[in-house]
Structure 1
Amino acid sequence: MAEAEVLYNIKFKRARGNTDGATPSTDEPTYCNVNYSKAQRPGSKQPAASNRRSGVTSERVALLVLSVLLAAAVTALGVTLYKNTQTMKSLQKLQEECEAKHLTDDSDERLMKVTFCLTEILSKTEPCKVEQTSKPPPVRDETCPRCEDGWEPHGGKCYFFSSVTLTWDQSRTQCRSMRGDLVVINNREEQEFLECRLSEKMETAEDKFWIGLTDSKNESEWLWVDDTRLDPSLTFWLLNQPDNWRWKNYDGEDCVRMGVKNGAKDLKIWVDESCNSPQKSICEKPEKA
């Protein structure tokens, strides 16, 4: 809308002079018209255009910054969801591949073999690798785990206490699939550690664990799985053991299991047993370098 104009009629008086020095005569009025627009009327205030432009610019900058932050947050969330989805798909694929290898087995044996397969695949991953450009002094990185998940560190070795009941040979196969073997007990301190852990894990008196000791090659010639002979001064046989009892199995008892619920003060908890008897087991392997 065009601004309205206002007409002001201003009246002035002008005196007529007398060249003869006589008294001036009556003043004559003079008129003058002055136009003002409403926006320019004297005494009115008009806001500065520069202040308005500055306020609009600040609002636009703030809105732009908020938009960028929101876009970044949405992008980060999308990347995280994508990575989680890919991980779940990979694990599902591994499980399907392991199950496909053992479709003809019965349910119990199939479950055991699938478990071994997944354990072997996952154990091959290296969760903690630190690449260094130079060779620093050999200092142990304590931030890296010494043993894989499910394994317990002690005395420079990692121990796995399997809750699956298998024959002695099957238990050894399980340990080997995880790059270990049935435990070889080298000293009294190691026996103390194992006895303490088993006393916590055993549920019943017969809930025992295979160790890597057998005389299956030659009767009464006890050998560890690393082919070392049993040291007679370092044995922990339970009273009246080994007895090679043939009542349950004609071939006798050629493998060793261990464990006493609630522990034993003298650490003598070894018992010979038929190698075909299903038992839990103890695996061991060296700690990571």
Structure 2
Amino acid sequence: MSEAGVIYSDVKFTREKKANVVIFSLPDTTYSEVTISKTQPSKTESPEGYQQDVLSKRSKVTSERLALLVLSGLLVAAVIGMGVTKRKPSSTVQPTFPKTPEVKDQTCDKCEEGWEQHGGTCYNFSISKSSWNKSRDVCRAKGGDLVKIDSREEQNFLQRRLSEIMTGGEDKFWIGLTDSAVEGRWLWVDGSPLDQSLKFWKGTEPDNWKGTKGKHPDGEDCVRMGEKGGAKDLQWWFDAFCSNPHKSICEKAGVRGKFKKVCD
């Protein structure tokens, strides 16, 4: 590589005229020097070498520019990430999660052996026969009571089950309905009155029959299901003497009254 220097000077001349003769003198001379350096390829250096040098410099500049772009991109991504992290969630879009029920507030009693579960209630169909009062005592000793029928669906369930377990003859079952306290005022064992829209009396029942020659002056004060007629009478209720020995239907762990709910 070679360098060339160029020098410029500013000169002030004083003009004098004497006898038609112009004389230039230099009383005050000032000058300034400017040097311009220009790099040119050496004549001794080959064009190929010069091109390689230029390409090398361009490559270096390109690499530096690429590195700068990469660093700038990382910096922008970091700033955006920090903004997303610090940004508070919108009040109108907040995730909701279902609350897990506390186990301590649940009662999940399963039906014991000898009991059948249906609709959240456990049922026991006794095989022994006794009076209405004694049958109720047996049910209460087992943790339940004589069945209270709350719906047509429950009535249909009991009717279906009785048709499956009845052995013939007068296979009758006590339920938890009586008017022994006040004649004609039918109450369930939990003290609630009979719903007039949910009564399943057979024909002229209840008739409060007092027996042959008035043998039972108190009349028929307790209610049963099942009859000698078989399946056609299973859907109906009959009032009967509370002292008669019949089978019974107990229930417990129900959804009503003091009973506990059974987890499905």
TM-score (norm 1): 0.48
C-alpha deviation, 1:138, in angstroms: 3.8
Instruction: Please identify runs of 4+ aligned residues in structure 1 that moved more than 4 A.
Output: none
C-alpha deviation, 1:288, in angstroms: 4.0
* 1:144-185 deviations in Å (ceiling 9; x for gaps): 872000000001000000111010010010010011000000
Secondary structure of 1:174 counterpart? helix
1:9-88 matches, within 5 Å, as none
1:222 and 1:229 in contact (8 A); partners too: yes
Instruction: Name the counterpart of 2:231.
Output: 263
C-alpha deviation, 1:217, in angstroms: 0.2
Equivalent-residue separation in structure 2 for 1:139 and 1:189 (angstroms): 31
Counterpart amino acid of residue 253 in structure 1: E
Counterpart amino acid of residue 137 in structure 1: T
Counterpart amino acid of residue 226 in structure 2: G
1:200 and 1:262 in contact (8 A); partners too: no
Pairing 1:276–2:240 present: no
Instruction: Name the counterpart of 1:208.
Output: 172
Range that drifts further, 251-260 or 270-279: 251-260
Structure with greater helix share of residues: 1
C-alpha deviation, 1:251, in angstroms: 1.6
Secondary structure of 2:129 counterpart? strand
Equivalent-residue separation in structure 2 for 1:201 and 1:229 (angstroms): 29
Secondary structure of 1:163 counterpart? coil
The gaps in structure 2 that reach 5 residues or longer are: 1-98, 254-260
1:61-140 matches, within 5 Å, as 137-138=100-101
1:196 and 1:263 in contact (8 A); partners too: no
Percent of residue pairs bearing the same amino acid type:
55
C-alpha deviation, 1:239, in angstroms: 1.3
Candidates 111, 115, 125, aligned match of 1:147: 111
1:233-248 matches, within 5 Å, as 233-247=197-211, 248=215
Equivalent-residue separation in structure 1 for 2:216 and 2:155 (angstroms): 28
**C-alpha distance 264-218 of structure 1, shift in aligned 2 (>3 A):** same
C-alpha deviation, 1:227, in angstroms: 0.4
Equivalent-residue separation in structure 2 for 1:158 and 1:207 (angstroms): 21
Counterpart amino acid of residue 264 in structure 1: K
Structure with greater strand share of residues: 1
C-alpha deviation, 1:269, in angstroms: 1.4
Candidates 168, 180, 205, aligned match of 2:144: 180
The Cα RMSD (Å) is 2.3
Counterpart amino acid of residue 179 in structure 1: G
Candidates 243, 252, 259, aligned match of 2:219: 252
Equivalent-residue separation in structure 1 for 2:146 and 2:101 (angstroms): 31
**C-alpha distance 139-233 of structure 1, shift in aligned 2 (>3 A):** same
Counterpart amino acid of residue 136 in structure 2: R
* 1:184-224 deviations in Å (ceiling 9; x for gaps): 00000000000000111112241110000000000000000
Structure having greater relative contact order (Cα 8 Å, sep ≥ 6): 2
Counterpart amino acid of residue 242 in structure 2: C
1:168 and 1:279 in contact (8 A); partners too: yes
Instruction: Name the counterpart of 2:195.
Output: 231
Pairing 1:220–2:187 present: no
2:168 and 2:230 in contact (8 A); partners too: no
1:213 and 1:223 in contact (8 A); partners too: yes
Equivalent-residue separation in structure 1 for 2:238 and 2:146 (angstroms): 16
* 1:246-284 deviations in Å (ceiling 9; x for gaps): 11522210000002465338x641000000001000000
